[in-house]
Chain A
Amino acid sequence: MDLKQSKLSNKEIIAAYKVIKETRKLDERLWQLNRIGKSTFNISGQGAEVGQVAMAMAFNSQEDYFLPYYRDMAAVMSFGTTAKDILMGSLGKKDDPASHGRQMPNHYGDKANNVISFSSTVTTQYPLATGIALALQVDKKPGAVLTVTGEGSTAQGDFHEALNFAGVKKLPVVFVIENNGYAISTPNDQEFGTDDLSSRAIGYGIQGRKVDGRDFAETYLAFKEAAEFAKAGGGSTLIVMDVDRLTAHSSDDDQRVYRDKAEIEEMKENDCILMMEEQLLDENILTIEELQEITTSIDQEIEQATLDAEAMPDPEASEIMTHIYETGGH
């Protein structure tokens, strides 16, 4: 679809593009920090940024809540988390809003922007999302809940239990499966026996949809509809968003071991960001010079954010026994 078919203004589309591009540049910086030994881990959403931002734009961080998974950097930034915040997380800094230096990198959370803390135990965020949504429902609050997991997680019991409950209570949740084709090295055909994961929605009495996360407008419109449906009391929607995983699973993995060279090359040629940039030019939303300017300015921002984050204090070792209980330590 054309970008303009999203019915978003040029200004909004450009703002979305900036978050997408910034996320890519930031992720590249996180890989550098990892490779020079300043952080010990990185897990990327490269190849999913366009879909993630289109998804997140259908929500707002004042009334809606977001329970992401570890590849959702672009979506989290769309909710308001900054590059410096994320860098502080990767460097284990005290002011990292996700965990104050306590969790691994990319385990997002940001109370100021209604992003709920994520653990590494995949799919546990789905039942948590039902609790957030039930609170909104019971408290008669206007928001909806967005929660995301990878397609590998659809094998987990929590996936079933949460969708089942959401169906019973008609909860205002948009459940998302980001399908990038692999659970670490395990391909889709070894993960589940269906060609269409969205068909699972039928069994729970909720809506199911499939979107191409490389298509900005299609993705945005699907999420906008699902968010409006949730807020109108219609209940939950399960959206399968197809995306690419341009990088290895994480900084501790090498996908060349289990993916064909041709497959990886093809994916990189069809990089969702390159495709969106072509659209921006074709639809006369940005000129090539403006694209260049945006990239240059993002490069500078990431550089500055890195310096700023590095200069921030580490947590105090004495904090080890704080925030265990209401009263502090043991």
Chain B
Amino acid sequence: MAEKTYLEAINLAIKEEMRRDDGVMVFGEDVGGEKGGVFGVTKELAAEFGDERVFNSPLGESEIAGLATGLGIMGHHAIAEFQFADYILPAVNQILSETAKMRYRTAGDYTAPIVMRAPYGGGVRGGFYHSQSTEKIFAGQPGLRIVTPSSVYDAKGLLKAAIRSEDPVLFYEHKKLYRAIKDDIPDEDYTVALDKAKIVKEGTDITVFSYGMMLQFVLKASEKLENQGISVEVVDLVSLYPLDQETIVQAARKTGKVLLVTEDTKEGSIMNNVSSVIAENALFDLDAPIKILAGPESPSMPYAKNLEDAFLVNQDDVLDAMVELAEF
């Protein structure tokens, strides 16, 4: 076991996979050379694996996605980095029209076994275009997987699974978690399933679903409530698309009281999809309306401290919503 940050776990996952498989390549804006990415996620990679396998791409995101997809067709498990999840938007056509559909439209003759990493999420004073949760834009596109790790253990194991997968995986990394969480993780090789939600805490009174930074709030609040006699089941979605419907429905049925927490705005969000799955499959097992705690329907996360605070769901909001639901 060794203590690692979320960021270090991601870096280590890439390193180990690049040692295991010569075909793995890493590229994106500023990921190569000494710099190793604007967050430092790809540090030391160019030195160890050379500039041919780890390199800076020009500043054009559609090319980054198309390049990765072409490499994938040729059997390379390429890892493309989008510097911020906000900047994945120019690549949407490539990702939805080519990457996600390559396997299906050729009935498996061609595939795109690639990983596209994207740091997302707010609370870093990043303003409109360094804070967004753009995962919802891709959710609903069969052929594509969208996953996000919310623990240090998963950061490493989930990325390894994504790199080894024969499916294209959008790997969303919460940028606030990069250095905010550390944990002891095994030295041995391990992977985390790409298509399974995780029960991270068992409970009997309410079930709370979340991911990313918000999951940290949920876990803290649930510890607090445990002392007050409220038992909370906490589910980490892990797979944002396709959803692990079985685990979600089961966990919702277990307590009959469901809270969904996201830092994204509500309408059209991943949590709206989760809500729909629960409503469709477990309505008669519910004892309270499904509650979604989300950001306000404002266009993006503003910069000024008080405005950013006003946008973000915080620790108190989560605790209050959980108490309210438990008392319903």
Contacts and interface: CB of A to CB of B under 8 A. Distances in A.
A168 B76 CA distance: 20
Contact of B66 (A117, A162, A319, A323): A162
Interface in B39-72: 52-53, 57-58, 60, 62-63, 65-72
A135 B57 contact: no
Nearest to A98: B106
B101 to A, nearest CB: 7
Contacts of B102: 117
A330 B106 contact: no
A109 B104 CA distance: 13
B103 A165 contact: no
Interface in B3-26: 25
A97 B103 CA distance: 13
Contacts of B62: 127, 157-158, 161
B275 to A, nearest CB: 19
Contact of A117 (B65, B105, B142, B242): B105
B74 interface: yes
A164 interface: yes
A138 B70 contact: no
A130 interface: yes
Contacts of A325: 103, 143, 145, 167
Contacts of A127: 62-63, 65-67, 69-70, 94
Interface residues of B, number: 44
B105 A165 contact: no
A199 to B, nearest CB: 21
Contacts of A130: 63, 66-67, 70
A109 B76 contact: no
B108 A168 contact: no
Q: Which of B53, B103, B165 has the most CB of A within 10 A?
A: B103
Interface stretch (A26-34, A118-126, A177-185, A263-271): A118-126
A324 interface: yes
Given A119-B101, A323-B103, A325-B167, A131 B93 contact: no
Interface of B: 25, 52-53, 57-58, 60, 62-63, 65-76, 78, 90, 93-94, 97-98, 101-111, 142-143, 145, 165-167, 242
Interface of A: 97-100, 102-103, 109, 111, 116-117, 119, 121, 124, 126-136, 138-139, 157-158, 160-162, 164-165, 168, 319, 322-326, 330
14 contacts: A100-B107, A116-B73, A119-B97, A119-B98, A127-B69, A127-B94, A128-B73, A132-B71, A133-B70, A134-B67, A165-B57, A322-B108, A325-B143, A326-B165
